[in-house]
Amino acid sequence: MSEEVSLSLDDVRRLSIDVLKAGCLSSEQAEAIAAVIYAAQRDECHSHGVYRLLGCVRSVKEGKVNPNAVPDVVDHAPAIVRVDAHYGFSPLAFERGKPLLVEKARKLGLAAMAINNCFHFSALWPEVEAISEMGLVALAMTPSHSWVAPAGGRKPIFGTNPIAFAWPRPDGPPFVFDFATSAIARGEIELHRRAGKAIPTGWAIDSEGNSTNDAAAALAGAMLTFGGHKGSALSAMIELMAGPLIGGMTSAESMTFDEGVGAAPCHGELILAFDPKVFLGGDAAPHVDSAERMFESIVGQGARLPSQRRYEARVRSEAHGVRIPKTLYDDLLTLLPR
């Protein structure tokens, strides 16, 4: 078993902010980024927790990211908010645009937020969860870099393209799912490589197009979509809706823009918010009840809801803090001023 370090959640927040500020990010950028990294580490989403600090700092050092970017929020159309992230990271752009998105969704029943020109490294669930905490249903999607082969092909053209959904519930945290349309997030393969662990069959092929269990060969080859042609079609939809539809780069264009420096992907993100009260008019209670009956019939047969593991991890981390590999902790310490 590899050595681990125990951290309190306050340590995680402080370490994240210190590393990001030492990496030259403005206080506002650093705090918005640290908030999503903190949430991911707390919920034991290791591929998007403090590990991501390494990539954020590298992306700034490579000169691609604007570390002082101040996003502009534009009231573009009755149902559309646009946020220009000005080549900063996405979390601050999301934070700045969210109030107008929520206001529009409450007024019209359905509103969209298009974020453009952002570097994107984070899990999407903190965003949809935040919108659902305001009583709205939310859907978010984003491309990444072209790492994933389409079903039936061998050359990477799609990103790992996550899609996340949240549904508010009356007596507890929302129903949330959030997954890559590749078989697994690329960050998870990177963590396997760091730990010297084999990856399961079905995640990726090597650069010759053969199935591989070697994480490094997978990262050099092509990742595979989840569910064959179904994940492939969903991934194409995300490329289109969070790419050309909003005037953003596709994953292939983001990869070209990167020029091989290995920065976080740069593109856009699409977030949709729906207000059930506007859809339903008068009394929403029967519809809330029917959703709750569906959740009951899932858990009632011993299946679990997506995010249940995450919510359990949250309670555990809030009580006991978190543990991260010592090798990762040591790598993070090298980014702090001596």
Which are the catalytic amino acids? 47-48, 188
What gap in Å lies between CA 147 and CA 222, rounded to an integer?
Answer: 6
Tokens of 275: 């207000």
Residue 270 CB contacts under 8 Å (≥ 6 apart), including other chains:
112, 113, 114, 115, 140, 141, 142, 241, 242, 245, 246
Smaller CB distance to ligand NDP: residue 38 or 125? Answer: 125
Told to check if 186 binds ligand PYC by CB under 6 A, we report: yes
Residue 64: contacted member of ligand PYC, ligand NDP, none (CB under 5 to 8 Å, by partner type): none
Element containing residue 290 per DSSP (H, E) = helix 285-299
What gap in Å lies between CA 180 and CA 164, rounded to an integer?
Answer: 9
Smaller CB distance to ligand PYC: residue 56 or 176? Answer: 56
Smaller CB distance to ligand NDP: residue 177 or 295? Answer: 177
What gap in Å lies between CA 175 and CA 82, rounded to an integer?
Answer: 27
| Binding-site ranges for ligand NDP (CB under 6 A) | 45, 47-48, 120-125, 142, 144, 160, 162, 164, 177-180, 184-185, 188, 304, 306-310
What gap in Å lies between CA 99 and CA 82, rounded to an integer?
Answer: 12
Smaller CB distance to ligand NDP: residue 21 or 145? Answer: 145
What gap in Å lies between CA 153 and CA 161, rounded to an integer?
Answer: 17
Binding to ligand PYC, residues 10-69 (CB under 6 A): 47
How many other C-beta atoms lie within 10 A of the C-beta of residue 330? 11
Phi first, then psi, for residue 166 (nearest 5°) are -140, 140
Minimum Å gap between C-beta 189 and ligand PYC is 8
Told to check if 265 binds ligand PYC by CB under 6 A, we report: yes
Told to check if 248 binds ligand PYC by CB under 6 A, we report: no
Minimum Å gap between C-beta 20 and ligand NDP is 17
Told to check if 117 binds ligand PYC by CB under 6 A, we report: no
Contact criterion met (CB below 8 Å) for 37 and 50: yes
**How many residues contact ligand PYC, by CB under 6 A?**
9
Q: How far is residue 316 CA from its own chain's centroid?
A: 22
Smaller CB distance to ligand PYC: residue 144 or 225? Answer: 144
Nearest residue to 336 via CA among 24, 7, 8: 24
Minimum Å gap between C-beta 169 and ligand NDP is 15
Bridge partners for 72 per DSSP: 84
Minimum Å gap between C-beta 161 and ligand NDP is 7
Residue 167: contacted member of ligand NDP, ligand PYC, none (CB under 5 to 8 Å, by partner type): none
Minimum Å gap between C-beta 314 and ligand NDP is 10
Binding site for ligand PYC (CB under 6 A): 47, 121, 144, 160, 180, 185-187, 265
